[in-house]
Amino acid sequence: MGDRFAVDNVDWKIVELLRANGRATNQQIADMLDLTAATVSARIRRLEDANKLRVVAVSDFAAHGYNVLMQMVIEVKGRPASEVAEELAAFPEVFAAHLVTGRYDIDLLVVLRDFDELSNLMSAKFANVRGIRSITPAIALDVLKYHFDVAPIEARE
């Protein structure tokens, strides 16, 4: 059902209302859209089953004690970039890992509790990943925008 599922205008309105308030009940959404709660529930379930929607909670990095946000771009040599990226993605400090085009092969988003952790991350962890030619870190001085209304949704098992 996943790829053949078409999202219609009513589905989009439900998604928009959930974006505005992820705690909204099916009845509240139904009242706003002149539907029944059962219809809203069925549509949400259908969107979730088709991997078109996932309702999640998001917390701030600082709430978890992370005070340093960094981007790291990586050049790979002698090994497939996909293998290196998978190995790097396994580290808990790596929040996001992307294979990219251009001068670099991998783009990482890394979070640390403080700068003291950077040395260990680079010399004890990343240094043991075979195939890294170079790492160029960029420290986020201020986060001006970090807003995702859409994201890739992995299939549930």
Contact 150, 19 (CB under 8 A): no
pLDDT band at 117 (very low <50, low <70, confident <90, very high): very high
Q: How confident is the model over 1-45, as pLDDT tens digits?
A: 445 678 899 999 999 898 888 889 999 999 999 999 999 999 999
**What's the pLDDT score for residue 1?**
41
3-state secondary structure of 12: helix
**What's the pLDDT score for residue 32?**
95
Q: Which residue has better confidence, 43 or 140?
A: 43
Tell me: do 28 and 94 sit in the same domain: no
Instruction: Decide if 3 is inside a domain.
Output: no
Tell me: do 32 and 79 sit in the same domain: no
- How far, in Å, CA of 129 to CA of 64, rounded? 26
* pLDDT at 147 exceeding the cut of 70: no
- How far, in Å, CA of 7 to CA of 4, rounded? 10
Q: Which domain holds residue 28?
A: 9-49
Tell me: do 132 and 80 sit in the same domain: yes
Instruction: Decide if 98 is inside a domain.
Output: yes
**What's the pLDDT score for residue 2?**
44
Tell me: do 39 and 67 sit in the same domain: no
Q: Which residues of 106-142 are buried (b: 16+ CB within 10 A; e: fewer)?
A: bbbbbbbeeeebbeebeeebbeebebbeebeeeeeee
Q: How confident is the model over 46-84, as pLDDT tens digits?
A: 988 888 888 776 666 667 777 888 999 999 999 999 999
Instruction: Decide if 33 is inside a domain.
Output: yes
Closest residue by Cα to residue 2 from 55, 54, 51, 53 = 51
Tell me how far apart the terminal alpha carbons of the chain are, to the nearest angstrom: 15
Instruction: Decide if 155 is inside a domain.
Output: no
Q: How confident is the model over 81-113, as pLDDT tens digits?
A: 999 999 999 999 998 999 999 999 999 999 998
Instruction: Decide if 147 is inside a domain.
Output: no
Instruction: Decide if 148 is inside a domain.
Output: no
Label the pairing between strands 132-139 and 94-99. Answer: unpaired
* pLDDT at 153 exceeding the cut of 90: no
Tell me: do 31 and 95 sit in the same domain: no
Tell me: do 108 and 79 sit in the same domain: yes
User: Which tokens hold the place of 148?
Assistant: 């995702």
What is the domain count for the chain?
Answer: 2
Contact 144, 102 (CB under 8 A): no
